[in-house]
Amino acid sequence: MMLEKLKQTFTVTEVKEQKKNLTFFTVPKEQMEMMLITLRDHHDYKHLSFIVGIDMIEDGVFKLTYMLYNYETNHSFGIHCNIDREKAEMDSFHHLWEQVGTYQRELREMLGINFEGSPRLEENLSLDEGWDGPPPMRRDFDTKEYSNNTYFQREGRVNYDPREYMREQLYPTFPKTESDKLLNGGGKK
C-alpha cells in the first residue's frame, strides 16, 4: 500500500518482502534524501537502526543499506542505494539524525566513502594508530595477506594434510592425481 504510494513519487525498484515486518527496496542515489525525509516525517519511520555499506565488488558498486523502523506498526524498511565504487560519494544525512554522522564516519573509515559536509568525517573511530592500509572493509583488502606481512607466526608449528600424508606413507609410487591442475584447466589439456 504505502509502497505503491511511494512508487508514484520515487523510483522504487527491487522490492523484496523478506518477512512480515521487513521490506527491502532500492532507490536511486539522488532520491535517497527525500525518501528518508518522507518516510520519517510522513510515515512515522522515525527510528534509524543503522547504515551499512556492502562492497559489491563484482558489480563495481557499494550498496548502502539504511534501516528505518516504525514504532507504530513495528515495520522496518531496508532501503538500498547503489553508489559507484570508483567514485565513492554519497550525500550526507547528518542533519536528519544525529547518529548518522557516526555511521558516516565509520563508512568513510572502513569503505572509503566520502560524505560531503558530514561533521568530523576524517576522524577515525578505530584505525587510529599507524594504519596505512586501504579501507579495510573493502573486499579487495586481504586480511590474511595483511596479517602475514605484518605479524609473525608462532614458530614450530607443522600441519600435515591427511590425504598427502597417507599417500606418502601408503602408496608413494602410484601415479598422482593432480586435481589442482584440472581445476586450473591445465593438466591433461
Partner 1 sequence: MFTPDRSKYPKHVNGRPEIDLSSGKYTKVWHGPQHPGITGNMALEITLCGDEVVESITHVGYLHRGFEKLMERRTFIQCFPIVCRIAVPEPAFNEYCFSAALEELSDIEIPEQAQWLRTFNLELMRLSSFLMWIGGMAGALGQGTIGQWCVTHRDYVADLFEEMTGGRIYHMYMLPGGVRAPLPPGFKERAFKVFDGIEKMLDAVDKVLYNNYVFKQRTQGLGIITRDMIERYGVVGPNARACGVKRDVRLDEPYVKYDELDFDYVTANASDAYARAVCRFEETLQSIDLCRQVLNKMPKDGPFHTKTPNVMNWKVAPGETYAKAECTRGEYGFYMVTDGSDKPRRVHARGPSMTHAICLMEQLAINTNVSDIAGLMVSIHTYPPEVER
Partner 2 sequence: MKLKDVISPFYVWKRAFEKPYTNTNPLETRDGSANYRGFHANDIEMCIGCGTCEAVCQNAAIDMVPVEGVDTTMSDSGLRPKIDYGRCCWCALCVDVCTTASLRLTNEYTWFSSDKDEDFRFIPGIDKKSWDDNELGYRRHEGLELLDYKRQAMDHIPFEDSTKSFIEMFHGYSAKQAKLEAERCVDCGLCIAKCPAHMDIPEYIKAIRDGDFELGAKILYATNPMPATCGRICTHLCETVCSIGVQGDPVAIRWLKRYIIDQIEPGDLKDALGEIFPDNGKKVAIIGAGPGGLSAAYYLRQLGYSTTIYEGREAAGGMIRYGVPEYRMPYDQIDKETNYLKECGVEFKFNTYVGRDIQLENLMDDYDAVYFSVGLTIPYGLGIEGEEHPRVLSGLQVLDDATERVEENPNIGKSVAVIGGGNVAMDCCRVSKRYDADVHLYYRRRISEMPADSDEIHESQGEGVVFHTQAIPVRVEPADNPNQVKLVWGEAEMVTPKDGGRPRPVLQEDKIHTDTFDCIIKAIGQEGNYEFFTGEYKEKLETKWGKIIHNEYMQTSIPKLFVGGDIANPQADAISAIADGHLAAKGIDLFLLHPDDKQMKK
Instruction: Name the site residues for partner 2 (rule: CB under 8 A).
Output: 154, 156-163, 165-167, 169-171, 173-175, 177-179, 182-183, 187-189
CA 133, CA 109: separation in Å to the nearest integer? 11
C-alpha cell at 112: 572509503
Rule CB under 8 A: say whether 61 interacts with partner 1: no
CA 175, CA 178: separation in Å to the nearest integer? 9
CA 124, CA 109: separation in Å to the nearest integer? 6
CA 107, CA 121: separation in Å to the nearest integer? 9
Comparing CB distances to partner 1, the nearer of 86 and 129 is 129
Comparing CB distances to partner 1, the nearer of 35 and 68 is 68
- Residue of 36, 39, 48, 88 interacting with partner 1 (CB under 8 A): 48
46 binds, among partner 2, partner 1, none (CB under 5 to 8 A by kind): partner 1
- Residue of 26, 102, 112, 114 interacting with partner 1 (CB under 8 A): 102
Which residues on adjacent β-strands are paired with residue 66? 51, 79
CB of 168 to partner 2, least distance (A): 9
C-alpha cell at 42: 510522513
- For residues 38 and 46, is the Cβ–Cβ distance under 8 A? no
Comparing CB distances to partner 1, the nearer of 31 and 65 is 65
Comparing CB distances to partner 2, the nearer of 87 and 189 is 189
CA 183, CA 176: separation in Å to the nearest integer? 15
Q: Which residues, numbered 63-92, are part of the site for partner 1 (CB under 8 A)? A: 65, 67, 71, 74, 76, 78
